Amino acid sequence: MKKISDYASEAELALRQLAISEKEPASLYSPIVYALTSGGKRLRPGLVMMVAESYGGASALEACQKAAAGIEMFHNFTLLHDDVMDKSEKRRGHDSVWYKWNANTAILSGDTMLTLATKLVTEVPDDKLRRVIDTFNDMALEVYEGQQLDLDFETSETINSDTYIEMIRKKTGALLGAAAGIGAILGNASDKEIGLMTTFGEMLGIAFQIQDDWLDTYGDSATFGKPIGGDILNDKKTFLLVKALEADKGTVDALKVTMKELKGEAKIKAVTRIYDKLNLSEETKKSVAFYTKLALKALKATSLSEEAKEPFRLLVEKLTGRKK
């Protein structure tokens, strides 16, 4: 059985074959090569491929190679611009593009990546072109809207866990949804199956993001790949913080004072203690389970055989750390 990791390797290959390093001017294209060769799990293009082959076999897998690469290119474009906006100096353990070069380079090479992504996504059979490009463009708008909501939330007092979920649905869910949806389109799936696969990807994206929030506080730094507590130190509005801000006034006031006055490890410990009191680890895990279940429900409703569903179940497990 082919697994997501097999498709991710295939996606890596498709990306290498784009030959961007040969394009001029090098000052525009070498940051793109740098960004595309600085790691990344290639889950999104892998998902395009896995869905396409599950529905349409080898010819669909062949037909989706460029579009899959385009999905990963788009993802990396958003990282270049997000890192400028968030002033993040590191990305996947390397210097981010704006930090290594400068903001102008990250902006303009990022713009170039968006157009390269759009070009790649148009490299599909004529009878699929309109549907694929529409799915891609509509997804892109959702991702920007999600990023804008995320930026707005940092200075807003009016978030609640519902608006937070809507934000991550757009910022993270939409791209995984479009990846699965485009895979299904290119696999000649029916409208119903395309819809179910889009839901699968979208709900998986939400579950994954909430899980990522949980890991930042309750994870193991070795497997998480980042130091624990980074979000707490940066006052990042995570699912846990948003939930905590919905607690009683006494707790919220104490939390705000703690966030404002403490620094470093002391801050991480104190905030975590408040999360513990509110039982937020359990509540967050429940929320991950909820969206995981919605993803699995959509998967179950598809016409794929049990055997064909299995790699998708394994993907869910991999991204959310939980079995069905």
Inter-CA distances, 91 with 148, 163, 205, 219, 320, Å:
20, 27, 20, 19, 22
Tell which positions 18-37 bind its own copies, by CB under 8 A: 24-25, 27-28
The percent helix, strand, coil of the chain (3-state, each to 5) is: 80, 0, 20
Q: How far is the CB of 49 from its own copies (least distance, A)?
A: 23
**Structure tokens, 114:** 């968006």
Q: How far is the CB of 136 from its own copies (least distance, A)?
A: 9
Q: Which is nearer to its own copies, 130 or 277 (CB)?
A: 130
Pick one of 118, 251, 258, 281: the residue that binds its own copies (CB under 8 A): 118
- CA 283 to CA 161: how far, in whole Å? 12
Inter-CA distances, 43 with 4, 115, 180, 292, 315, Å:
7, 21, 11, 17, 9
**Comparing C-alpha atoms, which of 236, 289, 266 is closest to residue 274?**
266
Identify whether the C-beta of residue 238 lies closer than 8 Å to the C-beta of residue 216. Answer: yes
Q: Which is nearer to its own copies, 8 or 116 (CB)?
A: 116
Tell which positions 144-203 bind its own copies, by CB under 8 A: 144-145, 147-149, 151-152
76 binds its own copies per the rule CB under 8 A: no
- CA 18 to CA 183: how far, in whole Å? 20
Scanning 39-47, 58-66, 131-139, 189-197 for contacts with its own copies by CB under 8 A, the matching segment is 131-139
Q: Which is nearer to its own copies, 62 or 134 (CB)?
A: 134
Pick one of 33, 85, 245, 308: the residue that binds its own copies (CB under 8 A): 85
Q: How far is the CB of 128 from its own copies (least distance, A)?
A: 11
Identify whether the C-beta of residue 216 lies closer than 8 Å to the C-beta of residue 241. Answer: no
Binding site for its own copies (CB under 8 A): 24-25, 27-28, 81, 84-85, 103-104, 107-108, 110-112, 114-116, 118-119, 122, 126, 129-130, 133-134, 137-138, 140-141, 144-145, 147-149, 151-152
